[in-house]
């Protein structure tokens, strides 16, 4: 918890890390609350009409103890990998806690992953056990022969009479508390695979300290959380670092109830209704979700929304979307930045006056973040470079799973490289430009696709877009835009020209898309980021696939 301060500078000056010699995420997020306040609500299942929607910390402790016993009984030991293929659910939270108690390593898998994405991660991690639902078990059935390490499949919807065991049946014999393994902050706890937007996914292995590293950012961007009436929600899959480490685990650590919903496909109208009916006070939204919610008519008039904080991360929200979003939600949007390997390191806090349209924030207290050049030297304000994070950050990954060369390439001297281009302004705000592979070089200008996509989103016909650089003999590259239209609009040359003019008038003659192509869908990663790789391949004459993570159509 961050102490309240009069200024950002005072907060940074006073901050000191306190990393204990022994630390276990399950104890910090569950058992200590269960011991102190057993009936304190931990999770709330939205839409549950049975009266059983509230899950207490005592409930989580009981079930995670029983699952840890069940897994150990089936041979899962310290260092083994436990995969979780579940949507937001009580069982997903229990699976995390049980693994941490056992000393196993959680491998979260998005419920919407296709067979190739699942097979790759399960093979690469060598997962020994998995907890899933009937849908997941059905998809696993066709993969089991190629997964020799996967010995145990527990299904929350019950057994299938064969190799799939029932989750509840597995827990039933065990009633005693589980002796939590003594873990240190650097002991492995979870392995989250990179999104795969720029190559094959890699398993980023994190220690138990990763949670401690996220707490200052969570507290800052949620304006000195926790407050007594806080109640958190995110539509982001808990299998993604954003849903898990930006929302679920920090909220549980602070004793803040987390609402989870039934959505498999994001519905902006339903999201507003949920926030009102469930009394949500703190929300974390990917920018894509925010942009979709802007199309809902008069949400503040139609829904009894009582938000205290709204946060956003995953990609840059952009200047115009930032300004529109504040009107949509009635609150300033506190953007923040991080990546799978080291998360929640830059952020905003409107309560402290640290908020600027078009910027992802300033370094969060305790995190050393800068913009450096290829020589490893920090760039002065106004000069573009790569976002880099100082070694030793508690949020930083331990290594890429079984890839020592890739791990080494991630660092330059004292810095962990992010692969993200940015500019730091004179006031210390960091302005995101784009991934190294995404930045477009046109007639000497370096153009971030996010800024162009943000401008495209302000056109009334544009639902979502992806912007890439197309090779050009004169300009090096030209800006090429792929656009998915809103209902009621038809593609055509006239609309394409109107879209080009819209961007040119609002940005510049260097940044507007010289080509506009209309597509039915814009593929997104499970974390809501636009997958541009397939579009780059298309304009460069490649084969095009967006890779294993092309799992979400544009909503």
Task: Specify burial of residue 397 (Cβ count, 10 A radius: 0-12, 13-18, 19+).
Answer: buried
pLDDT(195) > 70: no
Beta-sheet pairing, 415-424 with 411-412: antiparallel
pLDDT of residue 542: 56
Give the integer Cα–Cα distance in Å for 119 and 139: 10
- pLDDT, mean of residues 225-237: 95
User: What is the residue-averaged pLDDT of the chain?
Assistant: 90
pLDDT of residue 107: 98
The better pLDDT of the pair 493, 292 is held by 493
pLDDT category of residue 545 using cuts at 50, 70 and 90: very low
- pLDDT, mean of residues 434-452: 75
Structural tokens at position 302: 């139609």
**Residue 53, Cα to own-chain centre: how many angstroms?**
25
The better pLDDT of the pair 273, 199 is held by 273
pLDDT(551) > 80: no
pLDDT category of residue 53 using cuts at 50, 70 and 90: confident
pLDDT tens digits along 513-536: 999 999 999 988 766 778 888 898
Quote the DSSP letter at residue 296.
S
Q: Which of 63-72, 160-169, 466-475 has the lowest average pLDDT? A: 466-475
pLDDT of residue 49: 67
pLDDT(367) > 90: yes
Instruction: Give the Cβ contact number of residue 263 at 10 Å.
Output: 15
- pLDDT, mean of residues 119-131: 96
pLDDT of residue 526: 62
- pLDDT, mean of residues 167-172: 98
525 within 8 A of 201, measured Cβ to Cβ: no
Structural tokens at position 159: 């057994």
Q: Which of 102-106, 273-277, 382-386, 437-441 has the lowest average pLDDT? A: 437-441
pLDDT(555) > 60: no
Q: In the beta sheet, which residues pair with residue 422?
A: 385, 432
pLDDT tens digits along 279-292: 999 999 988 788 88
The better pLDDT of the pair 264, 472 is held by 472
122 within 8 A of 147, measured Cβ to Cβ: yes
131, HSE (Cβ side, Cα atoms, 13 Å): 34
pLDDT of residue 549: 32
Angle between helices 57-73 and 90-102 (to 10 degrees): 60
- pLDDT, mean of residues 340-349: 97
pLDDT of residue 197: 47
pLDDT(473) > 50: yes
- The vertex-219 CA angle with 249 and 294, nearest 5°, equals 85
Question: Domains of the chain, with CATH numbers?
Answer: 438-539 (3.30.300.30)
pLDDT category of residue 444 using cuts at 50, 70 and 90: low
pLDDT(544) > 60: no
Give the integer Cα–Cα distance in Å for 195 and 425: 29
212 within 8 A of 23, measured Cβ to Cβ: yes
pLDDT category of residue 77 using cuts at 50, 70 and 90: very high
């Amino acid at each position: 918890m961050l102490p309240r301060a009069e200024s950002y500078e005072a907060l940074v000056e006073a901050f000191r890390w306190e990393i204990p010699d022994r630390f276990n995420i399950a104890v910090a997020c569950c058992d200590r609350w269960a011991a102190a306040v057993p009936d304190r609500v931990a999770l709330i299942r939205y839409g549950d009409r049975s009266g059983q929607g509230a899950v207490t910390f005592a409930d989580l402790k009981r079930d995670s103890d029983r699952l840890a016993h069940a897994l150990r009984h089936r041979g899962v030991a310290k260092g083994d990998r436990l995969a979780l293929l579940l949507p937001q659910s009580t069982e997903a939270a229990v699976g995390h806690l049980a693994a941490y108690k056992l000393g196993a390593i959680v491998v979260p898998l998005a419920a919407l992953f296709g067979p190739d994405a699942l097979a790759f991660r399960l093979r690469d991690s060598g997962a020994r056990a998995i907890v899933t639902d009937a849908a997941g078990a059905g998809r696993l059935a066709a993969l089991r022969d190629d997964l020799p390490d996967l010995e145990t499949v527990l299904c929350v919807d019950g057994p299938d009479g064969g190799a799939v065991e029932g989750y509840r049946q597995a827990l039933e014999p065990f009633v005693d508390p589980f002796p939590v393994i003594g873990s240190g902050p650097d002991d492995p706890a979870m392995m989250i695979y990179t999104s795969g937007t720029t190559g094959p996914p890699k398993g980023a292995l994190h220690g138990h300290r990763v949670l401690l590293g996220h707490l200052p950012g969570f507290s800052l961007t949620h304006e000195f959380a926790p407050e007594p009436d806080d109640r958190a929600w995110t539509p982001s899959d808990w299998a993604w670092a954003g849903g898990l480490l930006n929302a679920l685990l920090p909220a549980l650590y602070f004793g803040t109830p987390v609402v989870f919903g039934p959505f498999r496909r994001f519905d902006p109208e339903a999201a507003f209704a949920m926030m009102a009916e469930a009394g949500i006070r703190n929300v974390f939204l990917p920018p894509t979700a925010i942009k979709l919610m802007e199309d809902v008519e008069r949400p503040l008039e139609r829904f009894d929304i009582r938000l205290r904080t709204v946060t956003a991360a995953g990609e840059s929200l952009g200047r115009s979307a930032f300004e529109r979003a504040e009107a949509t939600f009635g609150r300033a949007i506190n953007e923040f930045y991080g990546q799978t390997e080291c998360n929640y390191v830059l952020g905003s806090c409107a309560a402290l006056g640290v908020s600027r349209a078009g910027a992802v924030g300033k370094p969060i207290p305790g995190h050393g973040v800068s913009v450096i050049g290829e020589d490893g030297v920090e760039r002065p304000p106004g000069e573009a470079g790569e976002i880099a994070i100082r070694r030793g950050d508690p949020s930083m990954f331990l290594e890429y799973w079984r890839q020592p060369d890739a791990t080494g390439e991630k660092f330059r001297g004292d810095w962990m490289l992010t692969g993200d281009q940015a500019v730091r302004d004179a006031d210390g705000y960091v302005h995101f430009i784009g991934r190294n592979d995404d930045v477009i070089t046109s007639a000497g200008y370096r153009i971030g696709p996010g800024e162009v996509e943000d401008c495209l989103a302000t056109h009334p016909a544009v639902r979502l877009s992806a912007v890439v650089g197309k090779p050009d003999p004169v300009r090096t590259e030209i800006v090429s835009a792929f656009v998915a239209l809103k209902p009621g609009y038809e593609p055509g040359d006239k609309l394409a020209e109107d879209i080009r003019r819209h961007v040119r008038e609002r940005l510049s003659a260097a940044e507007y898309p010289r080509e506009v192509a209309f597509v039915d869908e814009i593929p997104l990663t499970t974390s809501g980021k636009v997958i541009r790789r397939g579009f780059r391949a298309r304009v460069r004459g490649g084969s095009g696939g967006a890779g294993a993570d092309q799992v979400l159509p544009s909503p």
